[in-house]
Structure 1
Amino acid sequence: MQKQPLLILVIFFILGIVFQDKLVLTGFAFYSVIAMCLVVLVAVCFHSYFLHKIKVVLLAFLFFGTGIILHRYNTYSEANSVLINKKETVSFKISQKLNTTEKYKKYEGTAQAGNINFNSIFYVPKDGKELDFIHYYKTEAYITQPKAPQYDFQFDYTRYLKRKHIDYQIYISDEIVSAERNDLTLSDQLRQYRFTVLKKIDKTIMSRKSKEFLKGIILADRTEIDAVTVQDFNKSGLVHFLAISGTHIVVIFGMFYYLLIRFIPLQFRKYAVILSLVFIWLFAAFIGFGNSVLRSCIMLSVYFIFVMLQRKPDLLHSLALSAFFILIGDTQQLFDVGFQLSFLAVLGIYWLNQPLLKHFPKQDHYLKKLLFNTITISLSAQLATLPLVLYYFHQFSFISIIANFVIVPFSEIIIVFSFIMTAFVTCGIDFGLLNGVYDFVIQILLEMIHWFAETDLLFFENIPMNGFEMLSVSVVIYLLRSFILKFNFKNSMRLIMAIIVFLIVRTGSNVFENEKEEVLIYSLGKSKIFSIKSGEKICFWVSDMEDKVKVLRYIINPYCSSRRVDYFEIKSFSSSSQKVVFRDRIYDLK
């Protein structure tokens, strides 16, 4: 507690959030927690020998209780069922544009139907008008709720939306009437200005993929990137390069700071730091305060505050403060996959980077330092996030390690080049030659990433991983530090024992799932899909009219990774069939 008090207190705060999310304290129990927290808060303020001895315990309970209380007030109640499955006249405004699908443009916003106000996802036909942030809209629309998943292995979209305080989906097919808003906030004006810059980028003379890459890497807009490009970044393990993260914020901060020190006298150098910090916060507000952006800005600000106060910077203090500020604003962010991966990656770099560097030759040259740090930082971040990646996505590509070694060293150049291009476009400056050069560079970059993604030999999917396995793998990675720092019998045995525990847990999970036999019927759109599992094998019956790619993505792959199936078979049946015969048994598809 003496070495890392902030980190430990934030961990108790997080445990309080998880406790409330799982048990949902209400009524007398919840108000008892509030009363106890108030008593503890008063007790901490008093000075006595006994209270001083238990002060650590009191603070831990206070943060634990605060997590429970805040999460209780960040959890929305059930949606009003009066609106469900109805066509209503809806007035609405949008707050965010989401990824475009094959059929719809998707938006997030606030709507009003009758006297009821609510948050919703809006689906507008892909060929319909583009919506902005400075208008109110009114139309006839169909209001529904997202359906809960049929089975535990399917993605729970309903729960995902509830964590974002959204209960409804609105499908728009009629003509939309708009009226200019007169209640614009500063946040709305920033969103609209960003929207304008995005439209300017669309008008530049570059290939479509280069435009979408530019919008993604600087303005955090990936809504129009095609599915193939997104898949390439995911399979090559370079999706962090496209998302705005700590690297982007540090590079932009460094670029602005470099320019300022050329004009500010040496004795006022600290003002260059302050102005650079102000600039990255303005930039973060402009592109939207995503988790990784907010974390990076807070950590960078805390770091330089420590420097200017002549205190030794501490990465874990900065990380803890970042998590605490974000979760105070919205405790539901804890359950966001991006939030978890972002913080785990930083923890992994803190825990493993220096131990790994000690096994590399002396860094007596800038190129060596760049190369070795790129390798160790990438490896540390990937090792730390590996358990969570396998738990959520059930896939991993060894080519991602190589891809990061090749691409990441050039990331600073690409980010700076992209930022300059965005600045020129924003100011209305159009250099045809510069556009051509940027387009050429990005096309080569995307081709390289596509080549890495196409190396299927090193790509593995449907990797089973449950919560217990994830925790046991995390312990293995935690023990790697001492093993790397000092290779001896004690550290080796601790690591081996952790690996054995993981193998025992995994073997037990495999045996448990392989003994199951189950028959399931799924709904995908208007079609039915039927499956029978026996041991390690499963057979899926799919309508001959069904989209096999969607079936594989949304049903077969999640099922195989959840039930630890090594072999599956797909058979087709006529869409008019009502029954299926398998092993002398008749199954009704109704």
Structure 2
Amino acid sequence: MLANHKGEVPFLLLLLPLLTGIALGLNFSTSFFLLRAITPLLLFCLVFIIINICYRQLSVYKFNWIGGVLINLILFLTGWLSVIIHHDLNRQNHFSKQSAKQLLVRINNEPTLKNGLVRFTAVVEHTVFDKDIHQTTGSLLVAIKDTLATTLSYGDKLLIPATYTTVDTPLNPAEFNYKQYLANQNIYQQAFLFPSQYKITGRGTGNPIIAYSLQFRQRLVNKLKRNMHDTTAIAVASTLILGYKANLSQEVLQAYSKTGTIHILSVSGGHVAIIYLLLNLIFSFLQRYRRGRMVKALLIILLIWAYVLLTGLSPAACRAAFMISFVIIGTTYSRYINILNILAVSACFMVLYNPFLLVDVGFQLSYLAVAGMVVLQPIVYNLINVNNKWGDKFWVACSVSIAAQVITFPLSALYFHQFPIYFLISNLFILIPAEVILCTGALYLAIPQIPYISSSLAWVLESSILLMDKVLTAIEHAPFASVSKIWLNTVEYVLLSFLIICVFYFLFSKKKRVLGVGLVATLVLSLSVSIKRVKEIQKDSITFLSLRKNQGIIFKQGNKAIVLTNLSPSDKNYQYSIQPYLDSSKVTDTSVYAFNSNIKSAFLLKYRNLIQFKNQKLLIVDKAMPDNPSGTKLNVGYIYLTGNSHVSLKKLGACVIYSKLFIDGSNSASYISDITQQAKALQINYYILKGNKSLTLASN
């Protein structure tokens, strides 16, 4: 639904400067900028008030542009200021700025158990230093290695030691920036606790509505388990219907992700839209009455929010309900309303409430997908004229899927580095099963336990999920199911987005100038991608990885790489810290070896602990001093110290000549401290990989 005039989408125009100000604030959010934002904001507000009061006297009507400029500046500075105000580290009473021995925290989300650790975020309400107790603010990520911690729930208060640490930055190339991910949620510190390090001081002190929502959802999850048997089906049902993702396996997530249907596992716009359509159909009879239209809108909004309550008030579900509530209100009280304007209204409210939502991937994708369906779907639909009634309905569904997938492709490629080829087939397939699952699941959960009826509904629910999973798995493993290893930089992302806009605008307007601009964007994008790829293929390097308690070296020649590590490719640490670098470096041929392997390849030779890579030599020193039968000094470029070898650097220097010493993460902290003291005394150039960024050395 394109706007014929800018007057149809005033909030969309007002949203742009607000988002620009928030984007600036996300990069300049310290308290240093507070006065620099608030002073001009107050000044512009004052000028705006004056010119409106003295509109005629000052003949402002001769300069209509002044008002528009002032409004844009005010909104821009409001966005910037909102980020500064919401930034927890700017507050003087943030817990990290207080001296403390203990922290009194309150759990503010649902704890999850994964890999033996109970994880949750907590609000730090007080710091304790001897007998002094101070009220504080700020959030903390907590992980507890204790089976008894599984009894913890939202709203519980804990007394924990003030032994938190800042979240590490990414230490290896292309590694996921977990620190930035948490910072976008206003979390900057984390704490790891053991059984005796925490004490429960209170239960159920959180928001009663959220607490009730989470408890009720858990009861519904247990009800699903009562009559369903397959653990995968239970996990998918819990996720798809209730937004409960704790039991969802990585394999299931991968299948949905590679087929472009991952959105179905997030209770968001699609789910709320289906609920809305069903409720709209159920209450359609109310339109016959005088006040029926208003009553219908009120009932639908209340029931949609009741459904959101069942999902545990998840941010994605709340966002979707908030958005569709505005749509319902707008369509109820207006003869004509532009959906883009309603989307802009809801987005304005949400980013003003929490400006950090702007960098939330779910927020970006959901609004972008809805905007794509509103703006681009009619353009795609008009490309083909289908006369058959059912064929037309089928083409409508296709056009919706194409519009949503295409408009979100650049963002998905930027974050997830892949594109599902068969997205249209998989999305069309899941339409009916998803509706069956939602309707059957809602009915099953709504009625009490009734013999035969409940078990029959559970059977239909389980069978639908298993069928859907079976088909999606087949699509996932089909030839050329997805294009992976797509790594875009910011410029390429902007160019790709601009190119898609040009294509659709050309289809809408048929202006050849737009097509020309799009071709220029395509050329620049192609050049950027090609140059980057050629550089990576021509690049030969050694990368010493920074792995916690593990070993890792990557020898790369063009698109081939040999990885020396004690991790298997299926290990989560390998997938998290090593694989992203290989993918981003355009490596298509990877060989993984253990450190004790002998290797003979076209570009690398390894015999025992000695490695020859092109013109570089590397010696691995692990449990003992290297053999030196000839008595002459071995000349190598680098030494890789691993496994707490406890060698003396002085003795090592007597038999080996080297330029730099690398100390990996498998060494203990005490040994690293000892070896660095030796290196300093002997003036040896060294680099500690543990806790520091990896180091890449070019070999050509």
TM-score by length of 2: 0.76
Rounded Cα–Cα distance in structure 2 between residues aligned with 1:83 and 1:256? 52
Q: How does 1:180-259 map to 2 (within 5 A)?
A: 180-181=203-204, 185-259=208-282
- 8 Å contact kept, 1:394–1:561: no
Q: Determine whether 1:320 maps to 2:344.
A: yes
**Contact map agreement 1:462 1:560 (CA 8 A) in 2:** no
CA offsets, 1:487-543, max 9 Å, x none?
675454343232112112222333454555543222333112112344444432212
Give 1:37's aligned residue.
Answer: 41
Spell out the pairing of 1:456-475 with structure 2 (5 A cutoff). Answer: 457-475=480-498
SS at match of 1:167: strand
Match of 1:19 in 2: 24
Distance 1:580 1:396 in 2: 38
Contact 2:259–2:481, Cα closer than 8 Å, also in 1: no
Partner of 1:572: 594
Q: Is the 8 A contact 1:210 1:442 kept in 2?
A: yes
Give yes or no for contact 1:538–1:565 (8 Å, CA) kept in 2. yes
3-state DSSP of counterpart to 1:402: helix
Q: Which residue of 2 aligns with 1:504?
A: 527
The answer on whether the counterparts of 1:139 and 1:174 sit within 8 Å (CA) in structure 2 is: no
Cα deviation for residue 185 of structure 1 reads 3.3
Of 38, 46, 58, which residue of structure 1 is paired with 2:70?
Answer: 58
Counterpart amino acid of residue 20 in structure 2: L
From the superposition, tell whether residues 25 and 113 of structure 1 become closer, same or farther in structure 2 (CA, over 3 Å). closer
- Given that 2:436 and 2:464 are in contact with CA atoms closer than 8 Å, whether structure 1 keeps it comes out as no
Question: For the residues of structure 2 that align with 1:201 and 1:243, how far apart are their CA atoms?
Answer: 18
Contact 1:424/1:430, CA 8 A, preserved across alignment: no
Partner of 2:88: 76
Matches of 1:410 and 1:203, distance apart in 2: 22
What residue number does 1:108 align with?
121
Structure 1's 300 and 52: CA in aligned 2 closer, same or farther, altered over 3 A?
same
For the pair 1:169 / 2:190, whether they are aligned, the reply is yes
Matched, 1:585 2:617: yes
CA–CA separation in structure 2 for the residues paired with 1:160 and 1:314: 34
TM-aligned CA deviation for residue 243 of structure 1: 0.9
| CA distance 1:181–1:514, change in 2 (3 Å) | same
Report the more deviating stretch, 131-140 or 398-407. 131-140
Q: Deviations over 1:446-468 (max 9, x none)?
A: 21122222225322321221111
**Residue number in structure 1 paired with 2:621:** none
Q: 2:678: which partner in 1? A: none
Secondary structure, in 3 states, of the residue corresponding to 2:571? helix
Following superposition, the deviation at residue 378 of structure 1 comes to: 0.7
**1:570: how far off?**
2.8
Match of 2:436 among 413, 427, 440: 413
Taking the TM superposition and a 5 Å limit, the aligned residue runs for 1:250-399 are 250-261=273-284, 266-270=289-293, 271-362=295-386, 365=389, 367-399=390-422
Do structure 1's residue 555 and structure 2's residue 555 form an aligned pair? no
| 1:72 CA drift (Å) | 0.9
Give per-residue Cα distances to partners, 1:470-499, cap 9 Å, x unaligned.
111111110121333466754543432321
Normalized per residue, the structure richer in helix is 1
Shift of 1:384: 0.7
Name stretches of at least 5 consecutive residues in structure 1 with no aligned partner. Answer: none
The 2-side partners of 1:317 and 1:209 are apart by 41
**Alpha carbons 1:253, 1:280 under 8 Å: kept:** yes
Distance 1:19 1:320 in 2: 19
Name the CA distance, whole Å, in 1 between partners of 2:451 and 2:22.
47
> SS where residue 362 of structure 1 aligns?
coil
Q: Which moved more, 1:187-196 or 1:211-220?
A: 187-196
User: Distance in 1 between the 2:84 and 2:127 partners?
Assistant: 27
CA distance in 1, matches of 2:480, 2:434: 26
Aligned-partner residue type, residue 571 of structure 2: V
The CA deviation at 1:427 is 11
Distance 1:299 1:426 in 2: 34
- Is the 8 Å Cα contact of residues 106 and 122 (structure 1) preserved in structure 2? yes
5 Å matches for 1:427-438? 431-438=454-461
How many angstroms does 1:238 deviate by? 0.7
C-alpha displacement of 1:44: 2.6
**CA 1:348/1:184 → structure 2, altered by over 3 Å: closer, same or farther?**
closer
**1:202, 1:211 within 8 Å by CA — same for their partners in 2?**
yes
Aligned counterparts of 1:23 and 1:93: Cα–Cα separation in 2: 30
Q: CA deviation at 1:410?
A: 4.1
The 1-side partners of 2:111 and 2:62 are apart by 55
Task: Check the 8 A contact 2:170/2:176 in 1, yes or no.
Answer: yes
C-alpha separation in 2, matches of 1:331 and 1:268: 38
Deviations 1:416-447 (A, max 9, x none): 22222222369999712222222122211121
Structure 1 residues 76, 488: CA separation in 2 closer, same or farther (over 3 Å shift)? closer
Give 1:380 deviation, angstroms. Answer: 0.8
Once the two structures are aligned, what percentage of the paired residues are identical?
A: 20
Amino acid at match of 1:37: L
The answer to whether the 8 A contact 2:440-2:457 is kept is: no
CA apart distance, 1:253: 2.5
- The Cα of 1:405 is off from its aligned counterpart by 2.1
Moved more, 494-503 or 318-327: 494-503
Change (3 A) 1:353 1:498: same
Residue 150 of structure 1 aligns to a residue whose secondary structure is coil
Assess, with a 3 A threshold, how the Cα gap between structure 1 residues 508 and 55 changes in structure 2: closer, same or farther. Answer: farther
* Whole-angstrom distance in 1 between the partners of 2:210 and 2:452: 26
Is contact 2:433–2:468 with CA below 8 Å preserved after alignment?
Answer: no
- Shift in Å, 1:4: 2.9
- Other-structure match for 1:121: 141
The Cα of 1:12 is off from its aligned counterpart by 1.1
| Aligned partner letter, 2:115 | E
Q: Which amino acid aligns with 2:72?
A: A
Higher Cα Rg: structure 1 or 2?
A: 2
Deviation, structure 1 residue 62: 0.9
Please, which runs of 5 or more residues in structure 2 have no aligned partner?
Answer: 1-5, 598-607, 619-637, 641-662, 664-700
Cα gap change, 1:289 to 1:320, in 2 (>3 Å): farther
**SS in structure 1 at match of 2:356:** helix
Q: How many residues align?
A: 584
Aligned pair partner of 2:504 in 465, 481, 484? 481
Counterparts of 2:253 and 2:484, CA distance in 1: 17
In the TM superposition, residue 225 of structure 1 has moved relative to its aligned partner by 0.8
